[in-house]
Amino acid sequence: MLASLPSPSSSGLGIGPFEVHAYGLMYAIGVALAILITRRRWSAVGGNPDLVYDVALWAFPAGLIGGRIYFDLTSFSEMPHTWYGPIAVWDGGLGIWGGVAAGAAVGIWRLRRAGVSVAPFMDAVAPALLVAQAIGRIGNYFNQDLFGGPSSLPWAIQIAPANRPVGYSNYATFHPTFLYELIWDLALAAFLVWLGHHRRIRPPGLFALYVTGYSAFRIFEESIRVDPAHHILGLRLNLYVAAVLTILGAAWFVAIQRGPDEAAGGREAEARPRSLSRPPP
């Protein structure tokens, strides 16, 4: 092995007598950045930026609960074997699709209570979610999880013997799929921002592309991961979920672009923010 990426010696950061779990810290930083990005994007289209705080106050805890429930249902064998195992988010284990679904449902509820059109807000938040997910993947680096099969590539990640799956104890370096996803998330976020500024995309088209693009990448990611997971017909459960969501997301995007512009149906000034796309010439 000529080169490889080292793993941290600890999953936490010591601050005086306290230990801060890097996984939770990265998610907190990711959420903070997502709020700042969404505020800027929502304000740019005429929305009230303070509304973002209200939505985040409700959607973030809902996302944590939804993400953990998804993990518990699909990876119950990986929960810590303690009474608090089902809620031990500090040990990792958040299903992104469960988190996004629960957070979106609660966020939509808050937006409708505020009388705000949901579709433009979804487009404002889509790139911000990807940035938050990218930052969150740094926590997987500290936890030494979310890695792929054995690899001798220069960017392969060193995994401690205690964290290697059964059957892989003789391998020292693996594909850093958390790093692959981090790069993809940031690239997709940048693409969505560019697309919103250079093409006429009916909302929530950018959010539909977020679902499509992220899920499509997860098909690749799930095909090379070797960490414990439930399998159906020899394939990881999340690969099936990713495939279904890729198809549904793409179909949703096409339907949005062919249908009426939902942003035009707002009930009041804030409910009719300007599109995140440029108007047609």
E strand segments, 34-172: 157-158
pTM: 0.85
Kindly list the distances between the CA atom of residue 142 and the CA atoms of 3, 57, 85, 177, 179, in Å, as whole numbers in the listed order: 19, 27, 20, 13, 12
Torsion of CA 60, 13, 82, 57, to 10 degrees: -10
CB 149 within 8 A of CB 175: yes
pLDDT tens-place string over residues 180-216: 999 999 999 999 999 999 999 999 999 999 999 999 9
Listed as ranges, residues in the chain with pLDDT below 70 are 1-2, 14, 16, 75-93, 260-281
Confidence (pLDDT) at 70: 79
CA distance 139 to 215: 20
Confidence (pLDDT) at 217: 97
Confidence (pLDDT) at 85: 54
10 Å CB burial of residue 24 (0-12, 13-18, 19+) is middle
Confidence (pLDDT) at 64: 84
Confidence (pLDDT) at 279: 42
Confidence (pLDDT) at 90: 54
